[in-house]
Amino acid sequence: LEFEKPPLPIRNYRNKFMKLINENKAVVVTGETGCGKSTQIPQFIFNDYVERNQGTNCNIIVTQPRRISAISLAEYIAEERGELLGNVVGYQVRLQSILPVPQGGSIIFCSCGILLRKLITDPGLTGTSHVIIDEAHERDIYTDFTLALVKRALKLNPQLRVVIMSATINAELFQQYFDSAPVLHVPGFTHPVKQNFLNNKMAYNLGISNIDEFCQGDVPNVDCLVVSKMVNWIDRNKPIGAILVFLPGWAEIQKTLQLLSKLNDDIHILPVHSLLSNEQQKLIFQKPPNGKRKVILATNIAETSITINDVVYVVDTGAHKQTQVDVNLGLSSLDNHWISKASVKQRKGRAGRVQPGESYHLYSKEKFETFDLFPTAEIFRTLLEQSVMDCKMYVNPGEKISEFFSSLPEPPNIFSVNQAVKTLQTLGALGGDEELTALGKRICLFTTHPFLSKALVHSVIFKCVNPILTIATILSAKSQIFSSSLEKKYDIRYSKKMFSPCSDHMALAWLFHEWESLYNQGFYKSLDFCKQNYLLSQSMILIQKLRYMHGDDLYKSRLVDSTQDYSDFTKEVNQYSRNDELVKGILLSGLGKFLVSQNFKYTKGRIKHCSNIVSQYAYLVLGLGKRQWLWAKV
């Protein structure tokens, strides 16, 4: 079935937008779902320069919060312009890039992290005419840092113009932050969407006996069987149209995929997650096979960052993965949490792009009314050690760390900032004057956590780089590497024990080493190894790519002579890499006087995993020994 492309309301606002951006240093653009701001605003600016015969002076950087959105938008605009990707339009994300040809105007889509790296060496963004910060309402730490540094760049570069684009979520914050910048609001284009909350009839069809019990609690109950039944019911009872299912994480996506595959042979199931390659993720934009309905299983990545035009039905679990932090204890946990009302609106808006749609929310209307109005900015719910190290690359000479954080759109609690500074001083990365020490200067450009970065430096000194690099990468990736980790936990434990009888960390290092050796011999050999040891092949490939990137950090810091040294066991930097006891000691040396805290809770088929660094002070003085399992099994 061919769907017509919906009209884009933003095109009616071209002249008004160009007048605002030509007369002001910063403009805030808010738009409803489907208004077309992400694809058209960069082209409005570029085409205006071309019409004035100044196209070579127009160099636009557009930031996106996720890789898939940066790549898909660049590809879409290049196709819309009738050009090849890499002519005028390109992208640059972690581990992948297609950049426009030099000596000409350009539109480059990138992640905030890429732009931040550019700002380190060029705070005024010389040669850049416009910066567009898209999806600013998502408020991750890198977006907040980007907003602060771009605001500074406006003072250094009089020619620079900034566009902050956001859904209609708290846009006043960005307007005030950029000195009462003008706001252009663009209505969206969506067909009517019927919203269905969990009621008695729906609960009966899904096998839910008690709605209040199903929805109660501060943590959402994500029952993958209920989700599968909801999708199956829509497929059996509703007209043609793709179904978009919002799930909190990869584990739920996998389980739902398995259940749906058993329930229904007439659907074409496509997962979308950062674990998957860009090629795998882009399959969601393609048509399903004839006679099959497309079902997309996604996380909140699909709320605003990507648009799938043939989606007619949305299934919303009301859950997402979110980190929460206890600053006093230095603990953070990643768990399922209820989304905000603003996120519910965004999810609902994914339906109705091509025809009237429906959204099915697996929680009651009463529960919805208890949701927060807006999502909480990441900077208020995470530990700040990594952010403090990052900010040392951006601050002006003599500027205090607390001063930089106070310049953010919404500054974090000063206690949280001071705690992070003290931790880094104890680690030896910062001196008493908050300046980078010799160690700090080495690790400030590393993309791993400062604790792990210190261990990497020590691994070079003690000549055991290979396993430490693997362990640091796995701990930093925040990706599940084992499949069916709940159902097969005893089998997984046995597999790890075969590679190291006394250390999970060493087991992971040697598991990866064996996988990589097989992967180099052929993909299918490594795939068999993954099946035997319950490993996720996609995760292992991602770990390998990230490991190359972290190894490059060592090379750029002049700690190793070649990017190949860290993988070669015959090189001097790996002379003692097979000494497990030394490797465990080096890992602990990076953690300093810290232990790892684990607190697992298994409830209603899901696992809550609290994992972080906790000081010996917390163990001895706060008496955590009775409540948590503390160990230094490294």
pLDDT of res. 598? 47
Q: Is residue 222 part of a domain?
A: yes
pLDDT over 60 at 198, yes or no: yes
Calpha distance 438→457 (Å, rounded) = 11
- 418 within some domain: yes
CA atoms within 13 A on the CB side of 200: 0
Is the pLDDT at 628 greater than 60? The verdict is: no
Above 70 in pLDDT, residue 271? yes
Confidence of residue 263 (pLDDT cuts 50, 70, 90): confident
Q: Read off the pLDDT of residues 540-585 as tens digits, 9 standing for 90 and up.
A: 998 999 999 999 989 888 888 887 777 888 889 999 999 999 999 9
**Tokens matching residue 488:** 């097969």
Rounded Cα distance between 537 and 529, Å, is 9
Q: Is the pLDDT assigned to residue 597 strictly greater than 50? A: no
Average pLDDT over the chain, rounded to an integer:
87
Q: Is residue 629 part of a domain?
A: no
Mark which of 160, 186, 212 sits at the end of a domain.
Answer: 186
Same domain, 140 and 85: yes
Confidence of residue 2 (pLDDT cuts 50, 70, 90): very low
pLDDT at 66: 85
Is residue 96 assigned to a domain? yes
Range of weakest confidence among 350-354, 372-376, 501-505, 574-578: 350-354
Q: Tell me: do 117 and 237 sit in the same domain.
A: no
Buried b (16+ CB within 10 A) or exposed e, 458-486: bbbebbbbbbbbbbbbbbbbebebbbeee
Residue 619 included in any domain: no
Residue 385 lies in a domain: no
Sheet containing 96-98: give its strands across.
96-98, 89-93, 106-111, 59-64, 130-133, 161-166, 26-31, 183-186
Percent of the chain with pLDDT over 90: 62
Are residue 437 and residue 537 in the same domain, yes or no? no
Averaged pLDDT, 488-507: 90
Q: Are residues 460 and 568 in the same domain?
A: yes
Q: Both 204 and 334 in a single domain?
A: yes
Strands 594-603 vs 606-615: parallel, antiparallel or unpaired: antiparallel
Per the CB < 8 A criterion, the answer to whether 86 and 101 are in contact is: yes
| Total Cβ atoms within 10 A of residue 190 | 20
Q: Are 25 and 61 members of one domain?
A: yes
pTM over 0.85: no
At 243 the three-state DSSP class reads: strand
- Which amino acid belongs to residue 109? F
pLDDT for the residue 477 = 83
With a cut of 50, say whether residue 315 has pLDDT above it: yes
pLDDT in tens, 607-623: 444 444 434 333 333 33
Tokens of 204: 């009966």
Which two tokens mark 291? Answer: 């006679």
| Length of the chain as a residue count | 634
Amino acid 302: pLDDT: 84
Local confidence band at 361 (pLDDT 50, 70, 90 cut-offs): very high
363 pLDDT more than 90: yes
Whole-number pLDDT of residue 398: 85
Among the three residues 427, 444, 461, which one is the final residue of a domain in this structure?
A: 444
Structural domain count of the chain: 4
Task: Render the burial of 119-158: b for 16+ CB within 10 Å, e for the rest.
Answer: beeebbbeebbbbbbbbbbbbbbbbbbbbbbbbebbeebe
Each residue's pLDDT tens digit, 384-426? 999 999 999 888 888 999 999 999 999 999 999 999 999 999 9
Q: 3-state DSSP: the chain helix, strand, coil percent, rounded to 5?
A: 45, 20, 35
- Residue 84 in any domain: the answer is yes
Residues 6+ apart with CB under 8 A from 236: none
Greatest mean pLDDT among 42-46, 112-116, 189-193, 282-286 lies in 42-46
* Residue that finishes a domain, picked among 136, 162, 186: 186
**Do 432 and 362 fall into the same domain?**
no
Domain presence at residue 297:
yes
What's phi and psi for 388, nearest 5 deg? Answer: -65, -45
Q: Are 337 and 279 in contact (CB under 8 A)?
A: no
Q: Would the pLDDT of 486 be above 90?
A: no
Asked if 55 and 114 sit in the same domain, the reply is yes
CA separation for the pair 227, 346 (Å, rounded): 19
Q: Are residues 266 and 143 in the same domain?
A: no
In the chain, pLDDT over 70 holds for what percent of residues?
Answer: 89
* CATH code of the domain in which 235 resides: 3.40.50.300
The confidence band for 305, taking pLDDT boundaries of 50, 70 and 90, is: low
Q: Rounded to 5 degrees, what are φ and ψ at 309?
A: -65, -25
Burial code (b: 16+ CB inside 10 Å, e: under 16) for 552-585 equals ebbeebebbeeeebbbeeebebbebbeebebbbe
> Domain range spanning residue 435?
399-444
Amino acid at 629: W
Q: What is the pLDDT of residue 484?
A: 67
Same structural domain, 116 and 258:
no
